[in-house]
Copies of this chain bind each other. A is one copy, B any other.
Amino acid sequence: MVDIATRVHNHKWKIDPIVRSLIDTDFYKLLMCQSVFRNKPDTTVTFSLINRSADVPLAKMIDEGELREQLDHVRSLSLTRGESTWLRGNTFYGKRQMFRSDFMEWFEGMRLPPYTLERRGDQYELTFEGKWHEVMLWEIPALAILMELRGRAVLHQMGKFELEVLYARAMAKLWEKIERLRDLPDLKIADFGTRRRHSYLWQDWCVQAMTEGLGEAFIGTSNCLIAMKRDLEAVGTNAHELPMVYSALAPDDAALARAPYDVLADWHEEHSGNLRIILPDTYGTAGFLKNAPDWLAGWTGIRIDSGDPATGAETAIDWWKSRGEDPTEKLVIFSDGLDVEKIEELSHQFHGRVKASFGWGTLLTNDFRGLAPNDALAPFSLVCKAIAADGHPTVKLSDNPEKAMGPESEIARYKRVFGVGEQQRFEVVV
């Protein structure tokens, strides 16, 4: 029997929307959004989408009209009643009412602000300008849309059967990874793969695979919609945009030097426990930790997001020891370019020395490497970053100069202020 109504209904869609919910986004975006809504409600920020993979000519592959339709669709979304209820009533990190009433009231009425889209050669220039707490919510859907539209352009050329085999292969590939991860003692791992996922449905499948395959070792997903639908923990803390914008707003070098700590002081006031996670690499991990106030050493953990992860973790361990803290009580979250080999390696290296946990991103939700002709579905390096705040350019140094961004003169100034010298380069895979 054919479900005629469903078929007819499916054919009524003018487009197949990629992002269908405002909470199809990373949990930390909402946490940061609330924080900005409270602490920096008047700051104007510009976000810009940057394709670091010049060999993927997005503007040649993706029709501009189609891209606009998808972006416009996201602008038509508002928080549904069920989503609002979940955000208001659910427990996050063991806490009820994580999101305050004034924030929720604003969020319920929020629509995403306009975007600016222009074609430049074979790439698109996509920017968002507006109130920080509004434009910041564009980052994840914009990335997911570009990544999925590029995937669709490739999938469009494939037959029904090739598609079936493609997904069969991708499933088998992920499951083999999961079977390897099962063998790791005391593993804690979460899905951090929303932004550069292959597609929403695929991410949802990956999360279910992790749930079924890893049991307790799978501690949640950063994707709020999937967390809600699959009754999982929503996880994530904060990101570089906080120190980047705070720093851009600093009136002088002294204020700039203080900015990354000011951010965390605001955060300290709002959050406790497992939400107190330091992200130390925005302007170089070593300097950040050396100059950090003592109350920061009391925080729960650190997230390592650039540079050599083992080096980053060793630096953190040394730092905690130097501040009289017990590293075995501390959490180290690895989240940069992880795949199963790296997870195994780090898990073995730090087992018993710290509480390690893993935020597995693109190579969880988009490891289509080797699965399509010419590797046309391999993930690529797409980012969407705050590039200016109240007219001042933002800067990121990172622990990998390949990930640095900002005007050259400002980068030089930041390096001076934060005492960053020569840095080792690491290839950015995804």
Contacts and interface: CB of A to CB of B under 8 A. Distances in A.
Contacts of A5: 1
Interface in A1-32: 1, 3, 5-6, 9
Given A1-B3, A1-B9, A212-B159, A171 B165 contact: yes
A165 B175 contact: yes
A172 interface: yes
Contacts of A175: 165, 168-169
A9 B44 CA distance: 59
Contact of A164 (B3, B164, B169, B171): B171
A208 B160 CA distance: 11
Nearest to A5: B1
A213 interface: yes
A382 interface: no
A164 B5 CA distance: 27
Interface in A185-224: 208-209, 212-213
A93 to B, nearest CB: 27
A209 B161 contact: yes
A157 to B, nearest CB: 15
A213 to B, nearest CB: 7
A161 B208 contact: yes
A167 interface: yes
When all copies of this chain in the complex are counted, the total is: 2
Nearest to A208: B161
Contacts of A1: 3, 5-6, 9
Contacts of A160: 212
Give the bracket for the number of chain A residues in contact with chain B: 20 to 34
B161 A172 contact: no
A209 to B, nearest CB: 7
Interface in A240-264: none
A9 B208 CA distance: 29
A168 B172 contact: yes
Given A167-B168, A169-B168, A161 B213 contact: yes
Interface in A282-314: none
A1 B159 CA distance: 26
Contacts of A161: 208-209, 212-213
A59 to B, nearest CB: 32
Contacts of A167: 168
A168 B166 CA distance: 9
Contacts of A212: 159-162
Nearest to A160: B212
Contacts of A159: 212
28 contacts: A1-B3, A1-B5, A1-B6, A1-B9, A3-B3, A3-B6, A159-B212, A160-B212, A161-B208, A161-B209, A161-B212, A161-B213, A162-B212, A164-B171, A165-B171, A165-B172, A165-B175, A165-B209, A167-B168, A168-B168, A168-B169, A168-B171, A168-B172, A168-B175, A169-B171, A169-B172, A169-B175, A172-B172
9 smallest beta-carbon distances between A and B, as pairs: A168-B171, A161-B212, A168-B168, A3-B3, A165-B175, A169-B172, A172-B172, A1-B6, A168-B172
Given A1-B3, A161-B209, 18 more contacts: A1-B6, A1-B9, A3-B3, A3-B6, A161-B213, A162-B212, A164-B171, A165-B171, A165-B172, A165-B175, A165-B209, A167-B168, A168-B168, A168-B172, A168-B175, A169-B172, A169-B175, A172-B172
